[in-house]
Structure formats: C-alpha cells, structure tokens
Amino acid sequence: RRAAFTAMRAEPPVTRDGQRITLMVNAGLRDDAAALDLTGADGIGLFRTEFQFLVSATLPQRERQQRLYRDVLEVAGDRPVVFRTVDIGGDKALPYLDHGDGYVEENPAMGWRALRLALERDGLMKAQARALLEAGAGRTLNVMFPMVSEPWEFDAAKAIFEKQRDWLVTRGRKLPIDIRYGAMLEVPALAEVLDLLLPKVDFLSIGTNDLTQFLFAADRAHPKLALRYDWLSTPILRFLRRVIEPCRDAAVPVAVCGEMGGRPLEAMALLGIGIERLSITPAAVGPVKAMIRSLDLGALREVMGPALATPPADMRAMLEEWAMASGV
C-alpha cells in the first residue's frame, strides 16, 4: 500500500466526477517542509509556528524566527504556506515566558492562550509579524490567527501586522506582494457571528481538534473520552455544514486543518458537506488522496443531505457501508 501511495504522489487529488480537492499538509518544524515533495501536497495549510518556541530553551529572537519562515518558504517555492501565529499558553506554557499572576490553569485549553495571550503580550506578536513580513518579501504571505473567539480579536491581530507593515514601508524595506489574513474557527462562538467575520477575512480554517472538544465539552487528550464522541456524529457534521455554507456564499475559502481531515472516512464526510480544502498530517496524504480519487462526490453529497436531516442510528456505520458499496 505504501508503494501505491508513493506512486500516487504525482497524481492530483481529483474525485471520480472531476472535483479538484486542495490537499495540503500540516507542519511545524523546518524539516517538515520536506513533506511537500514527499507527498506531492498542494502546500502547507497549517504551519504551527509555536513549535519553534516549544523546542527552544529561550525566546526565539526575531531573526531566528525570520530565518525559519524564509527557509520554509524557500522549500515551498510557489506552493502556499499558511503561517499560524503562536498558539502558546494554556497547556503549552513556556518556561522562559512570564505567564503572569501565578494562576495555575485549571482548564488550560480554555485558558490564557493563543491570540488571548498574544494580543496582550503584543511585543511577542509584533516581533513575529516583522519576522513573517520580512520573510515573505516578494511573495504572497498567508497569516492565520488561532483561537479567534470574537471578530474584534481578528481585527486587533491584523492591526498589529498592518502597523508593522507600515513601519517597514517607511524604512523602504521589501514587502510581501500580498498579505492574506485568515482566522481559525475552533471556538464555537465564532460560528454564530460568521456574518460579521467573513467580510473581514481572506480565508478560514476549521480546527476540528479544539472545536470538537469545545462542542462536546470533552477534553481532547482525555483517554477515557477519546472514543466516547465520534467526529462522524450528527452535531459535529451539522455544525460544520452550518459554517461551510456561509463561507461558500461569501466566496471565502474554508479548509479543515484538524486531525479529523486526516482520516479517510472522516475526510470523505467533510467533502460530502462541502469542504474542498484539507490540511492534514503528511502520513495521511496517501490514504486520503486514494479516497478522493475513488469518490463520486456528487453521489456522496446526495446521501449526506438526507443523512444529516434524518440521521441514521450510527452515522459512521452508514458512511462506511456507503463507501464500501460505492467502491471508495
């Protein structure tokens, strides 16, 4: 099978009925960029910039950040890279960063993390903005903000970048040709204000890891809960569809970058409710591409609508059966 996946590397992720899916990889370290050539992916849909912070004994200075981003962009060539600004704090506390008032996070996933921390520690965010803007000089820079919970947080984060850009302009520095700003949708509240958010963003990426733990109120790392709730369940699929549809109407590209998209049956269900962009762990590209290339997407979409309107007792079993019967 591995050999078959390797052989498929140069084949495009196109469904049997001709729908081209954008298949990207998640990455976080310099060497991960090599996964682009190894898998034949369309780009890096999620570059987790906090990895550099997590593996470092001291706060990575701007020059070091910039070097990493430039190296990754160089390997990517003309394939897009979506840099997610740091998602630190919460359970990813950094020993060299003062996390404030000594409060021990009882619910780190819901704590002072990601944008919540970065907007307050804006020195951190400014340095990262400068590093990204300079690394992206002469090309399109894609920046994505994690844990956006309300539209104003997106505005505030973007404003930090724009201010750094203006500063670079006054210094006559070379800039990115275009800067595209996106938000992660991983806090359910944001889904209720998509009408306010969508006009502001250039793209959206759904982080199903955090999103599903917040939807089910179930810790994503808890061993006793890992099997209790299913990604292929009515609440999750309905919720996602409710997010995807307004994005399509507003012509805002929407991707899924959580682990859910790296599992072929789950990825199939995502395509069935309208997703056309996935960013997944590199090892999953082969199996997911094989699923895509054997899928009649039109036929799947015809069964997904009724399945979500009148859910079967076991959504996973139903989708598995459909896939088997359809030669997926």
CA 72 to chain centre: 17
Cα 156 from Cα 162, distance rounded (Å): 10
Q: Following DSSP, what letter does each residue of 20-54 receive, concatenated?
A: BPEEEEEE-SGGGGGHHHHHT-S-EEEEETHHHHH
Among 210, 259, 266, 276, binds Mg ion (CB under 5 A): 210
How far is Cα 282 from Cα 262, in angstroms, rounded to an integer?
Answer: 9
* Contact pick of 42, 134, 210, 276 for ligand PEP (by CB under 6 A): 210
Binding ligand PEP (rule: CB under 6 A), the pick from 15, 40, 47, 48 is 48
Contact segment (CB under 6 A) with ligand PEP among 37-45, 118-126, 205-213, 242-250 equals: 205-213
Q: Does 257 bind ligand PEP (CB under 6 A)?
A: yes
- Residue 87 binds ligand PEP, judged by CB under 6 A: yes
At closest approach, how far in Å is the CB of 211 from ligand PEP? 6
Could you tell me which of 39, 34, 30 has the C-alpha nearest to residue 10?
39
What is the crossing angle of helices 208-216 and 234-249, to 10°? 130
How many residues of this chain interact with Mg ion, rule: CB under 5 A? Answer: 3
> Segment near Mg ion (CB under 5 A), from 182-190, 227-235, 281-289, 292-300?
182-190
One of 207, 261, 282, 286 touching ligand PEP (CB under 6 A): 207
Residues 6 or more apart whose Cβ sits within 8 Å of residue 87 = 48, 50, 113, 114, 146, 147
- The answer to whether residue 207 forms part of the interface with Mg ion (CB under 5 A) is yes
Which residues of this chain interact with ligand PEP, rule CB under 6 A? Answer: 46, 48, 87, 186, 207-210, 257-258
Binding stretches for Mg ion (CB under 5 A): 186, 207, 210
